[in-house]
Amino acid sequence: MKTWLCQQCGWIYDETKGDPLGGIPPGTRWADVPDSWTCPDCGSGKSDFEMVEI
Sites of contact with another protein (CB under 8 A):
5, 7-10, 12, 20-21, 40-43, 52, 54
The Cα 2–Cα 24 span in angstroms is: 15
Least distance between another protein and beta carbon 42 (Å): 5
The angle formed by the CA atoms of residues 5, 8 and 13, to the nearest 5 degrees, is: 25
Per the CB < 8 A criterion, the answer to whether 34 and 18 are in contact is no
Least distance between another protein and beta carbon 14 (Å): 11
Nearer to another protein among residue 32 and residue 41 (C-beta): 41
Nearer to another protein among residue 35 and residue 50 (C-beta): 50
